[in-house]
Chain A
Amino acid sequence: MAVAESIFEHLFEGELVESILATLSRAAVAFFISMAIGITVGLALGRSKGLDRFFDGWLVLGLNMPALVVAILCYIWFGLTEFALILAVCINKIPNVIATIREGARAIEPELIEVGRVYRLSWLQQLRQIYLPQLYPYIVAASRSGLALIWKIVLLFELLGRSSGVGFQLQVFFQFFDITSILAYAFAFIAVVLTIEGFVMRPVERRLTAWRL
């Protein structure tokens, strides 16, 4: 009850909405950059054995690099800036996207690729009509897990080095031991995340896999 009251209080005093929007926009920017780079590199690694051999070690390193180390280094090198935060989130997320998309690229049917070649489709048509649709399930999977990961580390990195956003607010409440406000922020934030999952991710997924029985 106290938590619900607290949510309303924070909502109307303004800083809750502001914080969530700040966090959301950071997550969104990091998400789209990570997906774009991850899909491109993942597709290249999945289709080329040479590239895959060369980058495999780096990928394992990237996948296992502690998020905190990346964040601290970014903040030290680039200052406590927006750029450093986005960069740190992307460095954490991109290896995951690459690993998922690489699996998808390896599973692409060579028989369907041949159809595109026999009928002399342009490379752009082959990419858009034959390669990407086969990657959709993997792209959806990468987006899902990507979003989940990004929320967590954006909050953490905000707490570490930014003066706005949900993470920063949580740190303030932590210092005052204001448990009610912490829970209020947590619930409000969870509600936003669930809304995005239900109204964006799921419909997109349904549309992309409509052809399946």
Chain B
Amino acid sequence: MSFLTADIARKTFTMVGGGDVEVIRDLRFAIGDGEFVCIVGPSGCGKTTLLQLISGIDPIYDGAISIGGAAPGTGPRLGYMFQSDRLMPWMTVLENVRLICSPEAIKRGLPERLLTDFGLADFVNSYPNRLSGGMRRRVALARAYAVEPKLLLLDEPFVSLDAPVALRLRDLLMESTREHGTSVLFVTHDLREALYLADRIVFLAKRPARVALDFTVPLPRPRSIDSAALESLRTELLDAHPDLLAGLVPTDSAEIEEHR
């Protein structure tokens, strides 16, 4: 039973100088209840746009998206972790998390509990600009969980963090999704990260984005990001589909993400 189904016939942006650019065409995939799905594709291929359609920020597209049977922005609550932490700099850590909580959740102390779980108990009254980048991501992740989401959207959330910090945050993410039974859509361009985290990987082709390969990760859990099994799977995958990550640094499609 799929929790999320996306069937996007067409998504275009109007460029500043006039004319339309097609970002997504005939993109179809589904996510099961409690499934962890990674979206992998070259940067600028429309991954962020896809998350914006699913989250309901951008309601203009041809096609249909259903989350638990409802249209984006109306159905079950979802958590969204952006590429940057996007914390309100004028609010303390605790205020940032409380901002998006229901009054009922605040009453039973959910923000404090989440922050403690995420190792931030000593920093609840700090302002974000006094925290390290890794800690700010943890606050952002706690905030995404504070709505008790059925679906969690993550947009390259651990990019630009150093390796040990990123590793700890990934484990924190996996632990909490398992615990809460959250469905996850995790966007990345790092194949190793995807193989480490995902139940299934949806590879996107370059613009206009569509599904190039829907791949179920056969590795048992717990996994290790530098294990031989993961590495050989990665090599195997790239041997079978040499063009899978092609255009990892595309020259012609970078402007779309910037344009947005």
Contact = CB atoms under 8 A, between A and B. Distances in A.
Most buried by B among A118, A134, A213: A118
Contact of A133 (B78, B82, B88, B127): B88
A115 interface: yes
Nearest to B101: A119
A121 B99 contact: yes
A121 B88 CA distance: 14
Nearest to A130: B88
B90 A133 contact: yes
A120 B73 contact: yes
B84 A121 contact: no
A118 B89 contact: no
Interface residues of B, number: 20
Interface in A162-213: 211-213
Given A118-B80, A119-B147, A213-B130, A112 B88 contact: yes
The dominant DSSP class at the A interface is: helix
Given A111-B86, A114-B57, A133-B88, A211 B100 contact: no
B84 A111 contact: yes
Contacts, number: 46
Given A112-B88, A211-B90, A213-B129, A117 B57 contact: yes
Contact of A119 (B90, B100, B129, B130): B100
A129 interface: yes
Contacts of A114: 57, 82, 86
Contact of B129 (A111, A115, A211): A211
Contacts of A121: 99-100
A211 B82 contact: no
Most buried by B among A111, A119, A213: A119
A129 B57 contact: no
A19 B7 CA distance: 73
B55 interface: yes
A28 B116 CA distance: 47
Contacts of B77: 120
9 contacts: A115-B80, A115-B88, A118-B56, A121-B100, A125-B99, A129-B88, A133-B88, A134-B90, A213-B130
